[in-house]
Amino acid sequence: MPNTVVVITEDALLPIDVTHIRTIAGPDGTDVRLIVPSEVRRSVVADFIDHLAVLDLKEAWEDLTGANDVTPDEAIATASDALARSVAALAEQGLDVASGTVADDVVAALRTELETAQGEIQVFAVTQPRAVADAFHRGWADRIEEELDVAVLHFYTGTSYLEA
């Protein structure tokens, strides 16, 4: 029976991200499922603080002025692009994606994936650092653990830093 690995990522996976996933999940007999959120609704205040935390003043200003706002169509297009690039990154390291989903509600999409999962289930959340969501445990990984009672390995894209 194959193991199931569900990866939730907001950006296209980088080669180092795939290496981390493959190292932990193992390369053989793994059913990889990918979820890319297309969330349009975000907290302006949280985004502003996140950008200030990493001294990205231009992005912080654009959060306040609405320059970073996206339409639902733009959000879906961006998520679809991240999905396609992530599938390619996984394939480059020998992992085939059994299913890929672009979803506005990450928790509901994961619930659907888990209903058909087989074997051991591992869930990875690969995100950008978010000062507010990470400090107050309101990110996807935390919401999934609370609502679905599933352990989630959360790491920041491009790094090996694990968020506890």
Domain definitions of the chain by residue range: 3-40+72-156
Contact 153, 24 (CB under 8 A): yes
The Cα 117–Cα 120 span in angstroms is: 8
Single out the residue of 135, 115, 126 nearest to residue 21, CA to CA: 126
In the structure encoding, which two tokens stand for residue 59, read together? 């992005």
Beta carbons within 10 angstroms of residue 38's beta carbon: 23
Amino acid at 61: W
pLDDT of residue 134: 67
The Cα 139–Cα 154 span in angstroms is: 10
**pTM check: above 0.95:** no
Choices 3.40.50.1470, 3.30.390.10, 3.40.50.620, 3.10.105.10: CATH for 3-40+72-156 = 3.40.50.620
**pLDDT digits 0-9 by tens, 15-52:** 999 999 888 887 666 788 999 988 756 667 677 777 67
